[in-house]
Amino acid sequence: MRIALLAPPGVQSLDVVGPAEVFWEAARRLGDPNAYMVQVIAGSADPVRGTGGLRFVADRHIFDPDEPIDTLLVGGNPSFAAVVPAMVQWLRRRAGTVRRLGSVCTGVFLLAAAGLLEGKRVTTHWECATRLRTEYPNLDVDADQIFIRDGNLCTTAGVTAGMDLALALVEEDYGRELALIVARYMVMFLKRPGGQSQFSAHLAAQMSGKSKIQQVQQYVLDNLTAPLSGENLADQAGMSVRNFARVFRQEMNMTPAEFVDAARLDAARLLLEDSAKSLQQIAIRCGFGNADGMRRAFIRNLGIGPGEYRLRFRSAWGGRGHTAAPYPAGGRP
């Protein structure tokens, strides 16, 4: 099946290279180079300048005679300067002829400009979601997803999410076993836990601009086993509970309880990745009380339990010395 990757001027290079590598590896594992035929399509015959100083010599351009396309994915441009009218017209004409249509990162703006997303549920890079909502108010924008499938339309979050989408399409086309083999070889996981806006609690604390809120965040990070109720945190800030909750949410776009959860999860994830401590030991050390409480927090926030998280993300040098082999059984290809 032919996979067409539309590369606008100034394309984010990984929007093209990432999905292409996933599809190529899947075809290689199948032993059939024609299982996926990846083509880069540009707006003209000239090389496309991408980010990172890369240039793409496209296989085809939009003025070439049409060829059948199975899946058409549109790359994004970080500067939003790539809404080329001829490319928009080409998308309008070709969209109804493909089995699957999608975008990577800010490529969704090209699809929106072509009028192909009306009433659709979509995502994009978290930093661009507000702009997408403002410019296209008829779209249902969910900025907390790695990728979204709405009918035959697929949209993704930023940059590396294009690889997540490509892997999901491989699973859809050829099954879970092949997708797992490709994911293992490329040192990816088949389905990422959590959403793209679930930042580290430590990073969130650094981003905060309110000194009282920063002090409370640091107190949380330093006292994970302490009682961290809203009342206790408000006392630390010297504010009323109601005002503290309002200011915290306004500044951090999350509740104090959500921040406490994130802080404890951060600490637990680090210990799961880099230590051999038992789940019960980690749960107590991170303020969850017991392993069952920690498990509920992991499921609620990440969609997987701490045991499965450890299996996926244990460091090569941490824990009991286990390593995640990047190659399938049988060694290097």
Dihedral sign of CA atoms 68, 85, 154, 73 in order: positive
Tokens representing 82?
């790539």
Count CB neighbours of 108 within 10 A: 30
The dihedral region occupied by 105, where left means phi > 0, alpha psi between -120 and 50, and beta the remainder, is: left
- Concerning whether 105 is annotated as a catalytic residue, the answer is yes
- 105, 128, 154, 286: the catalytic one is 105
- Give the type of residue at 273: E
Are 122 and 150 in contact by the 8 Å Cβ rule? The answer is yes
Judged against a pLDDT cut of 50, whether residue 237 lies above it is answered with yes
Q: What is the pLDDT of residue 309?
A: 86
CA 178: distance to chain centroid?
A: 21
For residue 47, give the DSSP letter. Answer: P
pLDDT, tens digit, 9 for 90 and up, residues 28-40: 999 998 999 999 9
Secondary structure (DSSP) of 258-287: HHHHHHHHHHHHHHHHH----HHHHHHHTT
- Give the type of residue at 330: G
Q: What is the pLDDT of residue 276?
A: 87
pLDDT, tens digit, 9 for 90 and up, residues 121-162: 999 988 888 999 999 999 999 887 888 999 999 999 887 889
Calpha distance 109→130 (Å, rounded):
12
Closest CA to 164 of 116, 196, 200, 139: 196
Bridge partners (DSSP) of residue 121 are: 140
Bridge partners (DSSP) of residue 156 are: 147
5: three-class secondary structure by DSSP: strand
CA neighbours within 13 Å on the CB side: how many for 75? 34
Q: Using H for helix, E for strand and C for coil, what is the string for 64-78? A: CCCCCCCEEEECCCC
Mean pLDDT of 305-312: 86
For residue 290, give the DSSP letter. Answer: S
Judged against a pLDDT cut of 80, whether residue 188 lies above it is answered with no
Judged against a pLDDT cut of 70, whether residue 205 lies above it is answered with no
Confidence of residue 21 (pLDDT cuts 50, 70, 90): very high
Could you tell me the pTM of the whole model?
Answer: 0.66
Mean model confidence pLDDT for the chain: 85
Domains of the chain: residue spans and CATH: 2-185 (3.40.50.880), 201-313 (1.10.10.60)
Lowest mean pLDDT among 7-16, 54-63, 91-100, 300-309: 300-309
Calpha distance 298→86 (Å, rounded):
47
Tokens representing 155?
């949209």
- Most confident of the following: 92-101, 215-224, 305-314: 92-101
Calpha distance 63→56 (Å, rounded):
17
Calpha distance 168→220 (Å, rounded):
37
